[in-house]
């Protein structure tokens, strides 16, 4: 019935800051960027390894996201990575501090979290063949 998750939509409070974060810091590639005059809103389509995964939207005065403590709704966005240390070192170049590395008690895989510019939690989950 379903093939895959098509995309994730994110509304940001500062479009230029979030655009820079997702493209320059995380390295996602821009597929298309449009300004929708009728909504006074940008829509940025982003890809990872050629796969369309994120729509980044700007809207005027969006309500703040409830994040801490955890609330109903999207909990976090997770990226599979080869090596956490490489990701953490890359993020530190942008003064982004990752949480301490934890280990998934069920899979034995390591993971960590950061926050995007609007405090959306982003997880990096290590996929090793060990």
pLDDT class of 122 with cuts at 50, 70, 90: very high
115: pLDDT strictly greater than 60: yes
CB contact at 8 A, 35 and 42: yes
Q: What is the pTM of this model?
A: 0.87
Instruction: Give the tens place of pLDDT for each residue, 32-72.
Output: 999 999 988 999 999 999 999 999 999 888 887 776 666 77
Q: Are strands 51-58 and 121-126 parallel, antiparallel or unpaired?
A: unpaired
- What token pair was written down for 5? 């998750």
The answer to whether residue 29 scores a pLDDT higher than 90 is yes
């Amino acid at each position: 019935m379903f093939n895959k998750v098509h995309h994730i939509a994110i509304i940001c409070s500062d479009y230029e800051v979030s655009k820079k974060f997702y493209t320059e810091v995380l390295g996602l590639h821009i597929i298309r960027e449009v300004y929708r005059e009728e909504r006074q809103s940008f829509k940025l389509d982003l890809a990872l390894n050629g796969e369309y995964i994120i729509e980044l939207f700007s809207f005027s005065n969006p309500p703040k996201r409830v994040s801490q403590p955890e609330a109903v709704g999207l909990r976090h966005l997770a990226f599979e990575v080869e090596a956490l240390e490489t990701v953490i070192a890359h993020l530190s170049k942008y003064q982004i501090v990752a949480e301490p590395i934890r280990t998934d008690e069920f899979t034995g895989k390591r993971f960590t979290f950061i926050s995007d510019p609007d405090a959306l939690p982003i997880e990096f989950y290590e996929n090793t063949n060990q």
